[in-house]
Structure formats: C-alpha cells, structure tokens
C-alpha cells in the first residue's frame, strides 16, 4: 500500500495486467506519442500521461499509436476482442464518441446477443469526461448515460485512486465491452492504493459516508463533492449517507434502495445533462421500488439542459457545486 495519484493507479493497473496477460494490448491516439518522429518515442503517454512508460516496457507491438481515426481504433479493438485479444482502446475525450459510436453500440455491444451467446468481446474503452477545465462544448461533456442506455455495455466510473485501479483491472478481465470513464479533474487526486493486483467487482456501490438524515447518491468526481458536503453538514447536525455508484451498468439497485430506506430523503448529484440521465434513472428506480421509504421528494442536482459553456464565469455556474447540493438538502429537510 502506498500513496498514488489516480493517474498512477491507472498506469499501474494497465502495466501489471499487461505483464500478467500477453493478450492485453493498448491502442489509441498518442498512447505513447512520437511515432514516426525523431524525438522522444514515449512523448505523451496519452494527453494526461496515464499510459506513460508503457511503450518502453511493452514495445510498440502492444502499445499501439494510431492515426486520428476513432472509428478504426474502436472497431479494431472490437474485432480484436472478438478474435482472441483483450484490448484497451483509448477514446481520449468521451465527446469523440460522436465519431465512432457505431462501432461501440451496433457492433461491440451487440455481438454477444446477436450471435446467440457465442461471442465474447473483452475490450475496455478508456475515456475522459467532465467539465471544469474550460474545454468548452466539444471536450467537456459527461456522456455516460448514453452508454448506460445500451444493453451489452458495462459502464464504470471511479471516484478515487483505489477504485480506479481495482475497477480497471476488473474491466480488463471482464469478457464484455466496458466503458471506463475518467473525470479529467481527478488525475492528480491522491489516495492509498495497494501495490499488488486486486479487483473491485462490478455492481457493488460503495457507502463512503453513513448517516441517518439524508442520502446523497453520485458517481465519479461528484462523489468527492458529496463527501465534502456530508462532512460540512455535520455542523448543522445533519447526518448524510453518501453512496458512490462505481458502476452505472450493472447498477447496484440493492444498495440504492437500502440507502433510501435508511434516510427517506435523497439527493442525486449527476454532472451529465439533466434529461434521461443517471439521476432520472435512479429516481425512477426509487419511485418504483422504494416509494414507501420516501419522506420527501427526490432532488436532483445536475447542470441545466444546455451544452457546456466555455467561459469560466458560465462553466462555474453550470456545474454541480457544494452550494447547489446544500440548497437541495435544505429544500427537503424542512
């Protein structure tokens, strides 16, 4: 066990799993960087440096830099997964989903079902999501509900370095296509991470705070926001449960209903667009299966139904914040 950043935890997960299983390869734009040039042949390690130092150890046969061709990258990973490799594909920004979605949702996600259960597609798509870095409308979205909507895909969204490593190793080993979402503001987050290989099973949400008055449900980066709010609410003698979903597909319905039963009041915090998102999905689940536990309306803290703005002044207003969560809490505590 030692302190590692979210970035280091992911790098270690990939490296250790690649040492263990020679079928694991990594493919994407600048996953090493510098191909064909005269400079550093491990120049980037991805735009955030997550896959740095992998090319020197595993070689360019397994750490494959590609042209900017998202459809080909994702489709190659799907085809390779179908035929015996266990690829990790780097989609870089989740917004680039728009360039390659067919290969994900009509191809990879459906092989198993369409082929009558004969196929396995063990691939992991790594991708960055989220706002806060002033990257504007085409580089800041939180598109995970779109993946969650598609049967056949698993959707993983870690909130801290420990979960990042364990969930990533589980993603590689899973025999289904997995979308692994990394919030771009989390890479420098530090936490205790075991040095050895370990996995965290899918579909097991994590209670990061236990309380009796209110349940905050979230995923990815906004879990940390919820944890902070929960700690601050103690000053007001309000005791919060925080549930980190960890995976959106499969969804841990049991823990959600258990948390609701314990507090009767729920605020769901979700950075994705407010229509047909994870907050509305969970809200529907609670209304269907946990209605009798509710003491107040379910509140959802999300951005408004607009694209992500560029201007720092607007983006700060746009994103979920501690103030917005507290306001939601107060609105149902009365």
Q: Which residues are catalytic?
A: 139
Query: Which residues are within 8 A (CB) of 104 and not within 5 positions of it... i.e. 6 or more apart?
Result: 74, 78, 97, 125, 147, 150, 153, 177, 179
3-state secondary structure at position 209: strand
Which one of 306, 322, 323, 330 is in contact with other proteins (CB under 8 A)? 306
CB-CB neighbours of 118 under 10 Å: 8
Per CB under 8 A, 197 contacts other proteins: no
Per CB under 8 A, 61 contacts other proteins: no
The C-alpha atoms of residue 89 and residue 77 are separated, in whole angstroms, by: 6
Q: Which is nearer to other proteins, 71 or 239 (CB)?
A: 71
Which one of 12, 17, 29, 252 is in contact with other proteins (CB under 8 A)? 29
DSSP assigned state of 192: E
Per CB under 8 A, 191 contacts other proteins: no
Instruction: Please state the closest distance from residue 153 (CB atom) to other proteins, in A.
Output: 22
Which one of 56, 59, 297, 312 is in contact with other proteins (CB under 8 A)? 312
- Helices 322-333/221-233 angle, 10° precision: 50
Which one of 8, 12, 17, 30 is in contact with other proteins (CB under 8 A)? 30
Instruction: Please state the closest distance from residue 241 (CB atom) to other proteins, in A.
Output: 31
Q: Which is nearer to other proteins, 311 or 331 (CB)?
A: 311
Q: Strand 206-209 and strand 247-249: pairing?
A: unpaired
Which one of 134, 173, 289, 326 is in contact with other proteins (CB under 8 A)? 134
Q: Which is nearer to other proteins, 36 or 116 (CB)?
A: 36
Stretch that binds other proteins, among 3-11, 61-69, 79-87, 105-113 (CB under 8 A): 61-69
Stretch that binds other proteins, among 4-12, 80-88, 133-141, 243-251 (CB under 8 A): 133-141
Q: Strand 299-301 and strand 124-129: pairing?
A: unpaired
CB-CB neighbours of 259 under 10 Å: 25
3-state secondary structure at position 248: strand
**H or E element in which residue 156 lies:** strand 154-156
Query: Which residues are within 8 A (CB) of 23 and not within 5 positions of it... i.e. 6 or more apart?
Result: 84, 85, 86
The C-alpha atoms of residue 108 and residue 102 are separated, in whole angstroms, by: 9
Place of tokens 């970035």: 7
Q: Which is nearer to other proteins, 159 or 272 (CB)?
A: 272
Q: Which is nearer to other proteins, 47 or 194 (CB)?
A: 47
Instruction: Please state the closest distance from residue 215 (CB atom) to other proteins, in A.
Output: 28
x-or-dash pattern for other proteins, window 76-115, by CB under 8 A? -------------------xx-xx----------------
Measured in degrees and rounded to the nearest 5, phi and psi for residue 332 equal: -115, 5
Please choose, from the candidates 225, 272, 262, 271, the residue with its C-alpha nearest in 3D space to the C-alpha of residue 241: 262
The C-alpha atoms of residue 77 and residue 100 are separated, in whole angstroms, by: 12
Per CB under 8 A, 271 contacts other proteins: no
Query: Interaction with other proteins in 203-232: which residues (CB under 8 A)?
Result: none
Stretch that binds other proteins, among 146-154, 174-182, 278-286, 309-317 (CB under 8 A): 309-317
> Which residues in this chain contact other proteins in the complex, by CB under 8 A?
29-30, 33-40, 43-44, 47, 65-72, 95-96, 98-99, 133-139, 304-307, 309-314, 317-318
């Amino acid at each position: 066990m030692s302190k590692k950043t979210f970035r280091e935890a992911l790098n270690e997960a990939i490296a250790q799993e690649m040492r263990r299983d020679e079928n694991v390869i990594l493919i994407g734009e600048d996953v090493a960087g510098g191909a064909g040039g005269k400079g550093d042949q491990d120049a980037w390690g991805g735009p955030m440096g997550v896959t740095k130092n992998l090319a020197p150890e595993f070689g360019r046969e397994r750490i494959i830099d590609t042209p900017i061709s998202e459809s080909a990258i994702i489709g190659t990973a799907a085809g390779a997964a179908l035929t015996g490799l266990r690829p990790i594909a780097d989609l870089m920004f989740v917004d680039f989903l728009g360039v390659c979605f067919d290969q994900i949702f009509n191809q990879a996600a459906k092989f198993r079902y369409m082929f009558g259960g004969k196929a396995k597609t063990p691939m992991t798509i790594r991708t960055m999501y989220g706002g806060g870095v002033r990257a504007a409308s085409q580089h800041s979205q939180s598109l995970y509900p779109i993946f969650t909507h598609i049967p056949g895909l698993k959707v993983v969204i870690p909130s801290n370095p420990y979960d990042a490593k364990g969930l990533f190793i589980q993603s590689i080993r899973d025999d289904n296509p997995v979308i692994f979402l990394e919030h771009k503001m989390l890479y420098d987050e530090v936490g205790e991470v075991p040095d050895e290989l370990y996995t965290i099973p899918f579909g097991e949400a994590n209670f990061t705070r236990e309380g009796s008055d209110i349940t905050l449900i979230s995923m990815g980066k906004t879990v940390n926001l919820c944890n902070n709010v929960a700690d601050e609410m103690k000053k007001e003698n309000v005791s919060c449960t925080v549930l980190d979903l960890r995976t959106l597909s499969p969804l841990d319905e049991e823990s959600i209903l258990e948390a609701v039963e314990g507090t009767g009041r729920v605020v769901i915090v979700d950075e994705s667009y407010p229509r047909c998102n994870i907050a509305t999905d969970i809200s529907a689940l609670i209304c269907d299966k946990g209605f009798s536990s509710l003491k107040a309306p379910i509140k959802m803290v999300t951005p408004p139904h607009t694209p992500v703005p560029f201007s720092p002044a607007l983006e700060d207003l746009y994103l979920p914040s501690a103030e917005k969560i507290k306001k939601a809490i107060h609105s149902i505590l009365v």
